[in-house]
Amino acid sequence: MEQLLLHLRNLGFTEMESKIMVELATKGQASGYEVAKQLGVSRSNVYAALQRLTQQGYVRCGEGEPARYSVLDPEELATMISGRVQASLAYMESEMPRGGPVSPSFYNVEGDRNVTGALIRQLNLAAQEIVVDVWREEASLLRSELEQAELRGVKLLWAFDGGNAAQAPYPVWPPLGGKPQRSGGRKFSFVIDRSWCMLGMRYEDGTAQAVVTEHPVLVELLLNHFTQEMVLFELEEDMGPELQKRYGERYSRIYNKYVLHDQDEAGEEQAE
């Protein structure tokens, strides 16, 4: 029941109107007095809401005294609401003023539902190219939208992590100052049409956080990172053990010099 009321409110009905419509659908038909008594609210508020719903065509008012009201069948109600929503969306899209250029900004998005929703909306707008760098678990959640993009002729470039994917030949940068780092997260990034990007993390408990921007600097950084991952992957595929044998120790020395330097110093200080 609560979910139904929530969706009715999302469609633009007030809480009172939503409850009245559900009550009428349950009873088949009822007078305003009966509805008010069942809901435990004032008759004046119920009659005002019934008048609005009747004027809009969602509720019918029968003849007789007292008047008895009934709501449209679900299919008819859905058709009417859908038509009006689509008409309003079309009008808004054509008539909404378009201002001047807006400087690129960074937006934080929190919550798995909000992150996924923002990403799906942008994937559906993709016209030429989508660059995806995700774990397989996250890719599976967006399979439908990515398949639809391919059917529209959008070029997809993929980089998967997890499963049997090769590990990057460099360590993760540790946090500075002994600050704890939240564990169990999987990074992901999307670059769409080389003008919009999202960079985020999805955790095992289902929560997610992301940064969204059209700033060209971050777009370029993510594209460069994607390119480097693909080059390293191709090198490992072609050279395999020989690459590790000839350069593995040198890789370790170089990365330890920069990435693990502060961590090593902290360990030495603690030992003293």
Q: What residue segments make up the domains of the chain, in order of their start?
A: 1-94, 106-260
pTM reported for the whole predicted model: 0.58
Protein fold of 1-94: Arc Repressor Mutant, subunit A (1.10.10)
130, 190 Cβ separation under 8 angstroms: yes
Tokens of 220: 């370029």
The pLDDT score that the predictor gives to residue 100 is: 74
Q: How confident is the model at residue 256 (pLDDT cuts 50, 70, 90)?
A: low
User: CA geometry: angle at 129 spanning 125 and 131, to 5°?
Assistant: 105
Tokens of 58: 């969602």
Query: How does residue 213 score in pLDDT terms, banded at 50, 70 and 90?
Result: very high
Structure confidence at residue 164 (pLDDT): 41
pLDDT category of residue 22 using cuts at 50, 70 and 90: very high
186 pLDDT tier (thresholds 50, 70, 90):
confident
Q: Give bridge partners of residue 197 from the DSSP assignment.
A: 191, 213
In the block, tokens 């990172």 appear at 225
Domain covering 106-260 assigned CATH 3.30.230.70 in the classification: no
